[in-house]
Chains A and B, each alone.
Chain A
Amino acid sequence: MKNYLNKRNLITLVVVGLIFFAIQFMIKERIITAYMRSNLYWIGIYIILGLSLNMIIGITGQLSLGHAGFMSIGAFAAAVVLKTNPTMTGLYIGIGIGVLISLAVSFVVAVPTLRLKGDYLAIATLGVAEIIRIVLNNLGITGGASGISNIKMLMSWPLLYTFVILTIFLTHNFKNSAIGRACISIKEDEIAAEAMGINTTKYKVIAFMFGAALAAMAGSLFSTTYYIVKPDSFGVNTSINILILVVFGGMGSLSGTIIATFIIGFVNIVLQPYAEIRMILYALILIIVMIFRPQGLLGSQELSTKLLPNFKWKRKEKSS
């Protein structure tokens, strides 16, 4: 029996609580304005998306370009439910339905396509996202091409924080579980992993479905934050935007994705007054970072308290 209430977990719990109350206080005292708050929502939702894609790309090493498709499943599920039941219960039901549909779709997609490798998988997932988008475009219940508008806004800091922490908890545990280690071994060397007796297809499917379910959850939060959903919000561009977060932060690094999302969210705020030029500057910043840190901000490392003493110790050894 493991002792879950060890010192590290307690410290984490206290830090998580402190961050929550600090931000809650700042929102209440209007130090964080409505505009900053809506940027915070964006960052939170994209942290969930980035982490979920990191499960597929960073941990398992399978390039998926169709993440926005799974996000749209959650977004439309929540939007449809919220139209008839605009309450928190409605949102939770929407998230539940979205996650279930997303799991089912990702299973159907994953079983044949994850036998493909590298570029082929990327193209297959790209195609799947397009199929989802076109189905939504022609489905009566989702409002066709113009989508669903006037969705009840239920997003709040406590709601966002709960889901972000839940996602970090789930993805962190996934990464450090036996399944996660099997996935990492697939990323490092698929043939070696197979030789060690790992059922590679099975673990790839698990990671893919896990990522798709989290993406659907983020999609549901997206639709209740921004009032409307339309199928063309979830095209290739959105998938690429999520991919940028993962690559920028470092593939396989959860803390890297979180930091990258904060940085990109911040860059968006700084660049907002520049209208069209914004996109050029944004691309320039990405290019510069990628030239200097091709492995991403954190590489495959995690930001952890364990790093600090290690770092000092290494430096001392070098100088002696």
Chain B
Amino acid sequence: MKKLISLLAALLVMGSLAACSAGSEEKVDTIKIGVNLELTGDVSVYGVPERKAFEQAVSEVNAAGGIDGKLVELVIYDNAYDQAKAVQNTEKLIEDGVVAILGSATSGMTMAIAPVAKDNGLLVFTPSGTNSAVTMDGTVVNPWVFRSCFIDPFQGRVLANFASNDLAAKKVVIMVNSGSEYSKELARIFTEQLNKNGGEVVETASYADSDTDYKASLTSLSSKEFDVLFVADYAKNAGLIIGQARSTAGLEDVKIIGPDGFEDPTLNDLAGGAQNVNNVFFSTHFSTLSNNEKVVKFVEDYKAFTNEESVSVFAALAYDAAYMLFAAIDAADSTDPQAIRDSLESLPSFSGVTGDISFDELHNAVKPAFLIELNNGVAVNATIVNP
């Protein structure tokens, strides 16, 4: 037993030595891009697909000859969803001489590395940090942080456009959770955009986060005349509302729309069974159901590259982030971090698998959403809706 263990230990040491010497071979003409992701720990389910998507994007761009004749090389570190590791990784990446950092997958880790990146003048590009504070440095924008996903309340704009254009709705009723910032922001932005589109919010009904019985407000709503019911909340409340609306006279078939909070496996159960979840639409970052040719190609390539059955939203967002960074480096004609940052900020609309993306003044992505239609509780259709 002891011999076996010492043998193992010896092998381990030799292995690490070999790996070290292999890593020290300097290639001259490469562009190093740092990756700082949650590859282990509680949220590795976000980080791992993003890593694969980054690797896929890099292998594709290298197969096509690289950027400006230079090959792209990823330096990947795991932060284990631990801010101490995230900060240390960032400092290591700076020493490794990367030109920009892709990651992290969560808002928390991105906010931990943002100050370090800012102090050292290095770009941080998160595919999936949706907290509105991520790109901010106090009350002003952090010039070094960008994201390729939209922030939560932004969906209000897309949903309003979807209601006006795709559902031809003129009159909308909103149900708002008065205890949730997410819900209130969504309702506010939705109302603004709907008014711009010439529609009208007939009524906004509020409820408390802890409510479970919505019959009273639903019954009073059923006497109103409207086309679409917008439930601005997570599945916890929205599922119950959908179920109770379907058993309220006059609301059996009304179209219900909602944000990405609907994307939750418990939605059908909360609604009292999948048969109640018809004529329900929600917005999300990405869907493989779309028949957009870019999406179809990406899904095929990703499955071939990773040997996996499913493509997660995180992979799609990461794939777009990687290509946006490549485009920025290409446009900058330079590997200077400052030049890359400026180039990314002024990047004209970028056409990716999650839609055409550009940045607003706070470095949040302005981009379309995927509107998923639920039929008997199953996603049957995805439409891309522009902001």
Contact = CB atoms under 8 A, between A and B. Distances in A.
Interface of A: 33-35, 38-39, 42, 146-147, 149-150, 153, 222, 225-230, 232-233, 237, 268, 270, 272-276, 278-279, 281, 284, 288, 291
Given A34-B94, A275-B51, 10 more contacts: A35-B88, A147-B108, A225-B87, A228-B108, A230-B83, A237-B41, A273-B77, A276-B40, A279-B40, A284-B12
B222 interface: no
Interface stretch (B61-69, B131-139, B278-286, B313-321): B131-139
A292 to B, nearest CB: 8
B95 A33 contact: yes
A272 B12 contact: no
B95 A273 contact: no
A146 B83 contact: no
A235 to B, nearest CB: 8
A226 B83 contact: yes
Contacts of A38: 87-88, 91
A270 B49 CA distance: 25
B84 interface: yes
B270 interface: no
Interface string B112-135: 101110000000000000010100
B386 to A, nearest CB: 29
A187 B5 CA distance: 33
A221 to B, nearest CB: 11
B88 A149 contact: no
A284 B41 CA distance: 17
A270 B92 CA distance: 12
12 contacts: A34-B94, A35-B95, A146-B107, A147-B108, A150-B111, A226-B84, A226-B112, A227-B114, A228-B112, A272-B77, A272-B92, A278-B40
Name the residue in A33, A228, A233, A284 with the highest tally of chain B Cβ atoms < 10 Å from its Cβ. A228
A191 to B, nearest CB: 37
Contacts of B8: 284, 288
Contact of A35 (B78, B92, B114): B92
B39 to A, nearest CB: 5
B138 A278 contact: no
A270 B16 CA distance: 9
A35 B107 CA distance: 22
B19 interface: yes
A90 to B, nearest CB: 16
A273 B206 CA distance: 51
A276 B12 CA distance: 16
Contacts of A33: 91, 95
Contacts of B133: 146, 149-150
A23 B48 CA distance: 38
A230 B109 CA distance: 10
Contacts of B137: 150
Given A34-B91, A150-B138, A153-B115, A291 B77 contact: no
Contact of B95 (A34, A227, A291): A34
Interface in B11-59: 12, 16, 19, 23, 39-42, 48, 51
Interface in B81-114: 82-89, 91-92, 94-95, 107-108, 111-112, 114
A275 B112 contact: no
Interface in B117-171: 131, 133, 137-138
A67 to B, nearest CB: 16
B76 interface: yes
Contacts of B12: 281, 284
Contacts of A230: 83, 108
Nearest to A230: B108
Nearest to B80: A279
B9 interface: yes
A189 to B, nearest CB: 33
Contacts of B108: 146-147, 149, 228, 230
Contacts of B78: 275-276, 278
Interface string B353-365: 0000000000000
